[in-house]
Structure 1
Amino acid sequence: MRVKILEPTLKNISRKNRVCAYARVSTDNYEQGESLENQITYHGNLIAANPEYELVGVFADKGISGTTENRPQFQKMLGLCRERKIDLIITKSISRFARNTTIVLRIVRELKELGIEVIFEKENISTLSKDGEFMLSVLSSFAEEESRSISENTKWRVRKKFETGQLIINTNRFLGYDKNEYGELVINPAEAKIVERIYSEYLSGKGTFTIAKQLAVDNIPTVAGGKWCESTILGILKNEKYMGNVLLQKYYIPNHLKKSTVLNKGELNSYYIEENHSPIIPKEVWNKAQIEIVKRAREKGNYQGNMKYQNRYPLTGMLYCSKCGAVLRRRTWNSKADCRKIVWQCSNYIRNGKTACSGTILDDGSASRLNIHEPTIVKETIKNGKKHYSYSGKSKQTTA
């Protein structure tokens, strides 16, 4: 038997490794910004100097914690990896890549399945090496513990500042005040006029919606440059800082990995400081505003005092969908105007979608004006492109 060797007709084409680097710092301060620039320059030069490497880019996130995946440049890099446009990622250390063990291992395993290597320079770990994942799981747990320790130390420093009456306020998002060279609150005269206007108009009988609308008509932006909402106006009216006092630790962060704040309902100490800074609103006027807020809330039937909404809202369990008989549930929507909108929506539709029910949606303002005191069926009809509603007592109509 004769065996004939068929030579390959295509020559082996050697391709450079497509390499990128990832860098991150967790704050926006000057020193860390400089550190980030140094990381970018170093890795860019490192990759460009290797003849076997083709530089894809250096992806860098600034001012974002490593405990979260929601980092724009990090996600952009992963997107290119999933498109098979990257062969190798170089990063300074595990903590730069991520400070959450679960995130590190999950992403590294995904990249490994795609044949993509990650090199952690400080720890001298390659994810494609035999013991790479074992070492990574051990060292990344240290990185996560370090993050927790940093978080606890930071919270300790913040609480110590609160105990001594030191403020931590971002005046870039606080209408009416700036900070002087000593970190003290000082009145911003131009912004203070807006605050005074809001209190004056509210106490003269105008509602928060009308006040917000008129500020927008007058082309007066919010302190953050956004649009005025009822909730923004109400927040200003309720803020004790405008009468010169401060309540510290209204909110706290329970989980160092999620970084989200929750309202302090007595879980931690709070600190109330009187006459901390110059007031924009006299104490008597501020107190009148609080009385008026409660008075209007009671008139609408939605004042709950300091109760924890155990019974939810006055209309909870009172409104029913005419299409399926399910109870309507109170929901908060974010509208295009970046303002909150409260509606009552069919709970069957919420849970199971339009296959279960086409749904009924009723605006909270309309519902509140009905003065409902018994279970009521809400019938929604559309005429000439507009929604119309009719109501009947639940006992008077049979529902499916």
Structure 2
Amino acid sequence: MTRPKSWDDREQTCAIYLRISRDDKGLDESYSITNQRKLLTRAAKEKGFTSIIEFMDDGITGTDRDRKEFVRMIAELEKGCIGTVIVKDLSRLARDHIRADTLIEEFFPEHDIRLIAVSEGLDTDNGEDEFIPFRNLMNEWYARDISKKRRLTNTVKVNSGIPLSLPPYGYMKDANDPTRWLIDEEAAAVVRRIYNMWLSGIGSEQIARALEEDMILRPMHYWKSKGLNRGGKFDPENPYKWKSSTVIKILSQQEYCGDVINFKTYSKSFKLKRRLVTSEENRVIFKDNHEPIIERAVWERVQEKRGKARKRKTNDGVKNMFSGLVVCADCGSNLWFHFNQNNPAIQYFNCSNYKGNRGTCSATHHIRVDFLERIVLGEIRRLTQFVNKHGNQFIKAAIGFTQQAEETLRKRKERELQAKKARDRELDKIFNRLYEDNISGKIDDARFMKMSAQYAKEQAALAEQLKKLAKELDELENRDADVSSFVKALQKYTHVRKLTERMLNELIERIEVFHAERTENGERRQRIRIVYNCLGSIEIPDLPDIADCHVQFQARKGVEIKYSQVEQAV
């Protein structure tokens, strides 16, 4: 196939455009690319064309206006060196009747392009065909009908738990049943590594850099190495250059704990290819549909930590593993991490809401980091002893504390929900009174509009809060305590000698710090409440084979602080 050398060759040059979509592949063989090529090449030669240029879009729908080869053909036609376009039928050009009409009635005549649709006997050199707009409309209706049928098919699949999307990185389709996902062990090992690194306190950018240094193929390049054609950006320059966004996506995908999530995205029209994100309440989720790569408890812990977006560093970039975990026992605010400017080895936390810093909390809740480390490590050791030596008693206590903690949380959220509903009803009454005052002339229109806007904004915010609270209460009603998962995580640290960030992430939800108080005999005691994941604050019984956690600390010369455990969370 040769290109025309000059304008003089234009009349002897034609473009043949071949297109087939996934939907067309279910039709008769004449729609195949091979048969389209044979048909159009023969027609071009019969009409005396000596130069034939082929443009082909394989597997792309006619409603897509950005087909790569179609766009390239239009660009070539605009250059003026091609005088004729040959297609099998008008549906190959487009299944959007507005686009097709514009091409045939405006673009082609404006650029003096002859159009031939072989199977429909259309040749614009023979004059106008009044049925062209009708054919274009029917082609669009066909696409609309296919889209409607596909949606119905997808609905049936959704209700039976069949995944609508391709398996994520770490999974592959079962060769014997493409509706099932199997673990791809090579990629799954990378997924597990990413979760382990993140739980160890390593950020997404550092994880991406480590994968690149170890020459781990990015998902797109990995699929290509396996002969799989997956959509997305492909960078041939550096197949190992992982991005932070890719790591974050892997950390957020619920499919890794065995679930299928359908209807994650949608399009507003079959003509629009842009996919929009579906709200969570409109997604369809089937739990435990395939073998998990990541344990559910671990995945949920990762989501909880990611959602908190907790502060890990001071303004000077100093990092501490307790940041985001320690909170004020009185006001609930996070404790902020600091270090002594004259002696950076002295690191401590205090309440971010302390009134001395223009907050409302009455005390600093100051606690040294090294003091806190010794306390938390001691309590984790005591808990592992309790589990290993008195397993049945622990399970019984854990279930009791979990139920108590969840019941306390449920009651608190119900009180909050009722208070917000009461405020919502009160706002309705305020609106009514405002309207009546405006009608009677007690307040002018400008004042009415200003006050109405203010209350409307508050009510809109209330509506979102009510929706969120209702969802949280619903989750509490349907949630079972996963004590066994916690025990499994805890037993990994039976002989631990040093705290790590991963240990804290896996075991502890938060640490409530009370302000140090002076006792009657002049001692300073500081109470700590550790709230464990899945369990809440569990009280370890006074048993002879479980050592107490006695921490006595010399804070500064002449000042000694002792630790006192809070007996039970409320």
SS of the counterpart of 1:224? helix
Letter matched to residue 21 of structure 2? S
Task: Give the AA of the match of 1:249.
Answer: F
CA RMSD of aligned residues (A): 2.7
**Counterpart AA for 1:253:** S
> Match of 1:122, SS?
helix
Cα–Cα, structure 1 residues 217 and 30, in superposed 2: closer, same or farther, change >3 Å? farther
Give matches, 1:153-168, under 5 Å.
153-168=149-164
- Number of the residue aligned with 2:14: 19
Does structure 1 conserve the Cα–Cα contact (< 8 Å) formed by 2:9 and 2:81? no
- What is the alpha-carbon distance in structure 2 between the residues aligned to residue 46 and residue 29 of structure 1? 22
C-alpha separation between the residues in 2 aligned to 1:298 and 1:136? 64
CA offsets 1:70-109 (integer angstroms, 9 cap, x no match): 1222222222222222222111111111111121122222
Match of 1:246 in 2: 260
Give, as a single letter, the amino acid of the residue that structure 1 aligns with 2:172. D
Partner residue of 2:349?
A: none
Alignment of 1:152-231 (within 5 A): 152-171=148-167, 174-180=168-174, 181-183=176-178, 184-225=180-221, 226=239, 227-231=241-245
1:32-85 CA-to-partner distances (Å, cap 9, x unmatched) read: 8981111112211222244x3223223221111111221222222222222222
C-alpha distance in 2, partners of 1:257/1:43? 28
Counterparts in 2 of 1:287-298, with a 5 A limit?
287-296=300-309
1:263 lines up with 2:277 in the alignment: yes
1:312-391 equivalent positions in 2, closer than 5 A? none
Partners of 1:44 and 1:57 within 8 A in 2: no
Distance 2:209 2:23 in 1: 35
Q: How far apart are residue 136 of structure 1 and its match?
A: 1.6
Secondary structure in 2 matching 1:61: strand
Inter-CA distance 237–185: structure 2 relative to 1 (3 Å threshold): same
Q: Counterparts of 1:136 and 1:219 in 2: how far apart (Å)?
A: 56
Amino acid aligned to 2:14: V
Q: What is the alpha-carbon distance in structure 2 between the residues aligned to residue 54 and residue 24 of structure 1? A: 22
Give, in whole Å, the separation in 1 of the partners of 2:309 and 2:274: 32
Deviation of 1:281 after TM superposition, in Å, equals 0.8
Deviations 1:340-398 (A, max 9, x none): xxxxxxxxxxxxxxxxxxxxxxxxxxxxxxxxxxxxxxxxxxxxxxxxxxxxxxxxxxx
CA distance in structure 2 between the aligned counterparts of 1:97 and 1:29, rounded to whole angstroms: 14
Instruction: Quote the Cα distance in structure 1 between the aligned partners of 2:44 and 2:287.
Output: 58
SS of residue in 2 equivalent to 1:56: strand
**Contact 1:112/1:127 (<8 A) preserved:** no
**1:378 equivalent in structure 2:** none
- Separation in 1, partners of 2:26, 2:141: 24
Counterpart residue number, 2:298 = 285
User: Which stretch shows the higher mean deviation, 287-296 or 77-86?
Assistant: 77-86
Q: 2:36 aligns with which of 19, 36, 39?
A: 39
1:119 to 116, 121, 124: 116
How many residues get paired? Answer: 285
Distance 1:297 1:91, change over 3 A: farther
Instruction: Find the aligned partners of 1:18 and 1:186 in 2 and give their Cα distance.
Output: 51
Q: CA deviation at 1:237?
A: 1.1
Residue 71 of structure 1 is aligned with which of 59, 67, 70? 67
8 Å contact 1:199–1:237 — kept in the other structure?
yes
Superposed CA deviations along residues 197-222 of structure 1, whole A, max 9, x for unmatched, are 11111111111111111111111122
Query: By percentage of residues, which structure has more strand?
Result: 1
Q: How many angstroms does 1:15 deviate by?
A: 8.6
Amino acid at match of 2:170: G
CA contact (8 A) 1:112 1:128 kept: no
CA contact (8 A) 2:191 2:250 kept: yes
Q: Deviation of residue 269 (structure 1)? A: 4.0
Cα drift, residue 187 of structure 1: 0.9
Query: Relative to structure 1, is the Cα distance of residues 123 and 49 closer, same or farther in structure 2, using a 3 angstrom cutoff?
Result: closer
* 3-state SS in 2 of match to 1:38: helix
Greater C-alpha radius of gyration: 2
* Aligned-pair CA distance for 1:290: 1.1
% same residue: 27
Alignment partners' CA distance in 1, 2:279 and 2:161: 20
Tell me, what secondary structure is at the counterpart of 1:168? Answer: coil
Q: 1:254 & 1:14 partners in 2: Cα distance?
A: 45
Determine helix, strand or coil for the equivalent of 1:53. Answer: coil
**CA displacement at 1:30 relative to structure 2:** 7.5
AA at the equivalent of 2:193: R
Counterpart CA distance in 2 for 1:97 and 1:112 is 16
Is the CA contact (8 Å cut-off) linking 2:44 and 2:52 kept in structure 1? no
Distance 1:166 1:99, change over 3 A: same
Report the secondary structure of 1:294's partner residue: helix
Equivalents in 1 of 2:193, 2:11: separation in Å? 66
Rounded to whole Å, the distance in 2 between the matches of 1:101 and 1:31 is 23
Say if 1:203 and 1:292, in contact at 8 Å, map to a contact too.
no
CA contact (8 A) 1:16 1:54 kept: no
Question: 2:292 corresponds to which letter in structure 1?
Answer: P
Are the equivalent residues in 1 in contact too, given 2:14–2:83 (CA < 8 A)? yes
Cα distance in structure 1, aligned partners of 2:10 and 2:153: 52
1:168, CA displacement in angstroms?
A: 2.6
Distance in 2, Cα, partners of 1:28 & 1:149: 11
Q: Counterparts of 1:176 and 1:112 in 2: how far apart (Å)? A: 52
Which residue does 1:104 correspond to in 2? Answer: 100
Code of the residue aligned with 1:23 in structure 2: it is L
Find the counterpart in structure 2 of residue 141 from structure 1. Answer: 137
| TM-score, length-scaled by structure 2 | 0.47
Of residues 279, 289, 313, the one that matches 1:276 is 289
Q: Give the distance between the partners of 2:67 and 2:312, measured in 1 at CA.
A: 46
- The alpha carbon displacement at 1:130 in A equals 4.1
